[in-house]
Structure 1
């Protein structure tokens, strides 16, 4: 069953004359199912009125100032403030699950043809190596085909 959540997103990148990115930012707003229609209407009006995100960035506005304009006239408060960091959520177990998802036939081929199966995360470039024995162990996790 699909859950359609009313959402709005604004993204912007401020590019200098030399082509380098000097600032980037944005917002994602999703309403709660219990949100009152009048508040949703106010939010829509606010989002339609605000400048492009690149204009916020060009003016040097803070994330709090951007939120203030998006939620103008709507009671809200921040829950927490966290710094952004580059972090991938890949792990050896996730890669194992991805290999299992390839199916029995492909895993059997890997176990027979490849001494070492290397998998590289496309996001963080971490590399995971699996021996033939480890691929065989993954095959044992797959239910036998009937």
Structure 2
């Protein structure tokens, strides 16, 4: 599998990890958009990161990471779910010059913030926010975990426009099973030697073998990942209803219908006058699935 995430842990320690590799899912995101190379690279890192975090928190629902910047890149967003479906999008700032091929994270986003949203199938939505105060996406995400007083977590991310990869290490609370007090510092130090080319070119098991050949690593079965969009006619209808009846009828009077498309996958949706009136007549109930 070229698109997968794999969980592992170090026996006798309180350290666990995840390693992800992406090719086809990443390629499908880029095929649907025309972004500059530097944006493509950062988008790949974000895809790897959202896959890692979704598997780490074991959320039964959707997890999204949204980067809002004040540089050339106004928005970067990726979303994942437990089914292994990934999608992502970017938006350049209006009138911003096209960033150079080798533009870095700070040049692309400038100041801003990262929002991580957990939207469980059952339960309350949670959102955490952290300022963009580091020179890499991985650094900002590590700061998010530190700020939110969660488990110490480090990430290593890489992408080259064709493949994306990521490694995550996390330190669990101490218990009687932890027989190695230096395990966290040692495993992080070794991961810091990881080169982007290794993370992108080597199979996940080979990456772990090279980094931790002197450690006892327990590796679990990989989980496949793929591109998947959660848009639907019903969800688009719900979004249109938020505009209100007056604005919707003004659009209908001007255009004779409503044509829209999903920003993630570019699927087009058309709503006739009759469709919209049926939605409005439904009142505060759930918009019907229209055909």
TM over 0.5: yes
Q: How large is the Cα RMSD of the aligned pairs?
A: 3.6
Aligned length: 132
* Equivalent position of 1:117 in the other structure: 258
Cα distance, 1:127–1:103 mapped onto 2, change above 3 Å: same
Between the two structures, name the one with larger relative contact order (CA 8 Å, sep ≥ 6).
2
* Equivalent position of 1:25 in the other structure: 165
Structure number with bigger Rg: 1
- Cα distance in 2, alignment partners of residues 95 and 49 from structure 1: 47
* Equivalent position of 1:36 in the other structure: 173
User: What TM-score do you get using the length of structure 2 for normalisation?
Assistant: 0.36
The answer to whether the 8 Å contact 2:166/2:199 transfers is no
User: What TM-score do you get using the length of structure 1 for normalisation?
Assistant: 0.63
- Cα distance in 2, alignment partners of residues 55 and 2 from structure 1: 33
What is the aligned counterpart of 2:247 among 106, 113, 121?
106
- Over residues 72-108 of structure 1, what are the superposed CA-to-partner deviations in whole Å (9 max), with x where a residue is unaligned? 96875425431x3322221111111111222333223
* Equivalent position of 2:158 in the other structure: 12
Higher strand share: 2
Secondary structure in 2 matching 1:106: helix
Give unmatched runs, 5+ long, in structure 2. Answer: 1-125, 129-147, 285-291
* Equivalent position of 1:78 in the other structure: 220
- Cα distance in 1, alignment partners of residues 185 and 274 from structure 2: 57
Higher helix share: 1
